[in-house]
Amino acid sequence: MAASTLLKMYCRTYQGIFRVAVNFLNWKEPELVKGAGSVKKLPEVVKANGHNSVLVVTDKGLMGLHLLDGLFEGLDKAGVKYTVYDGTQPNPTINNIEDARKLYADNNCSAIIAFGGGSPMDCAKVAAARIARPGKTVQKMRGTLKILKKLPTIYAVPTTAGTGSETTIAAVVSDPETHEKYALQDPVLRPKYAVLDPELTVGLPPHITSTTGMDALTHAVEAYIGHSNTKETAAAAEKATKMIFENILKVYENGKDIEARENMLEASYLAGIAFTRAYVGYVHAIAHNFGGMYGTPHGLANAVILPYVLEYYGESAYARLAKLADYAGLDTNGMTQAQKAVLFIEKIKEFNRLLNIPEHLEVQEKDIPTIAKRAAKEGNPLYPVPKIMDVEDFMSVIRKVGNLD
């Protein structure tokens, strides 16, 4: 079933207005501190910026691995007091955010270091938003441009090459009351500094390496095929796609390959730059709601859902996917545009197989209408996708993802 003409007109009009409006926003990218061992340079940067007390937002897993020890030593040496919030859950909740905010206030902090994967980053970003807007609940900041106030400085230290959260204007929150997962989007959420240190990703388990890598690929692909692409976002997405195609199997098979780890971090960052300006699409809308309903890890959900949504788009995405097939270095000699696009989608499926990512996600039939409605609410009218979906279309794709069609 195709989405109604009225829905299509509404979405495209909204997206057209938004495309013009975003030109007036601040798109300043984070200052980069990068290279092996670069996390050790961060304390001096923090000190030089006049921050004497910082909140470090991370999770218990990273604390248990002692990944933050070098940072803590450096902060001590630089004379910067730090308070640690390590209660972040895999899908950060409103309670996590409020707990982090309280620690920040109680310890007179003036900046935040977000250390970890997408979850600590999102928790730190939204905690900073609550600090800037104490009278506004997280629920009231849901959506686009609902914060609009300068945040405390955020220093982002990614330990996975996937979310690109160190350069995005988005943060995703889980509401345990309603089992919803939704995004806050505002340029003020963008970190001021990003530390890309491949040594921090060396110890990642293979299944985290694979799913976060496919998450980054999803960002690049969704940004590239959408209608809000710019010259800059296209270039970033093309380079990110090429780097992921060349490196994801290397880091999966040999986690200690520092060069491949560094390439994946850069690819994730570039994909983040691409989708921050050009947006994501329905893969994310569905994935967020699998996360909200079942706690499905975001990278895993994106990886599984991506080929199904690309197949739904069909011809509307062929031209852009064909270009990505060429940029990715696939053997496309003598192929038509459609054949190149199909080859690209098949290559994503092949990656999933080689990375031991399942072909389907578990979903209960009774939950499909709710997931579909929530995904439609997130995706429409904002996401500038190649082809508009209505709730029935979402339900159809979700059934394919769950192997229930």
Q: What is the pLDDT of residues 297-337, one digit of tens each?
A: 999 999 999 999 999 999 999 999 999 999 999 999 999 99
pLDDT, position 181: 85
Whether the ω angle into residue 92 lies within 30 degrees of 0, i.e. cis, is no
pLDDT, position 90: 86
Mean pLDDT across the stretch 73-100?
96
Residues in the chain: 405
Does the structure show a pLDDT above 80 at 2? no
Mean pLDDT across the stretch 375-393?
97
Phi, psi (deg, nearest 5) at residue 279: 75, 165
Closest CA to 150 of 109, 186, 194: 186
Angle at 185 between CA 274 and CA 159, to 5 degrees: 60
pLDDT, position 347: 98
pLDDT, position 327: 97
Rounded CA-CA distance 230/10 in Å is 22
Please give the mean pLDDT across all residues of the chain.
Answer: 96
Enumerate domains of the chain plus CATH numbers.
5-22+205-401 (1.20.1090.10), 35-201 (3.40.50.1970)
pLDDT, position 105: 98
Residue 106: CB partners within 8 Å, gap ≥ 6?
A: none
Mean pLDDT across the stretch 233-238?
98
Does the structure show a pLDDT above 60 at 39? yes
Rounded CA-CA distance 110/392 in Å is 48
User: Order of strands, edge to edge, in the sheet holding 170-175?
Assistant: 143-144, 180-185, 170-175
Question: pLDDT tens across 176-190, in order?
Answer: 888 888 889 999 999
Residues 152 and 132 sit within 8 Å (Cβ to Cβ): yes
Question: pLDDT tens across 145-175, in order?
Answer: 999 999 999 999 999 999 999 999 999 998 8
Burial 207-228 (b: 16+ CB within 10 A, else e): ebbbbbbbbbbbbbbbbbbbbb
Question: pLDDT tens across 331-354, in order?
Answer: 999 999 999 999 999 999 999 999
pLDDT, position 177: 86
- Confidence band (pLDDT; 50, 70, 90) for 278? very high
- Confidence band (pLDDT; 50, 70, 90) for 405? confident
Mean pLDDT across the stretch 220-242?
97
pLDDT, position 1: 53
pLDDT, position 187: 95
Alpha-carbon dihedral 123, 126, 127, 131, rounded to 10 degrees? 170
Q: Is 129 exposed, middle or buried (0-12, 13-18, 19+ CB in 10 A)?
A: buried
Rounded CA-CA distance 85/104 in Å is 9
pLDDT, position 180: 86
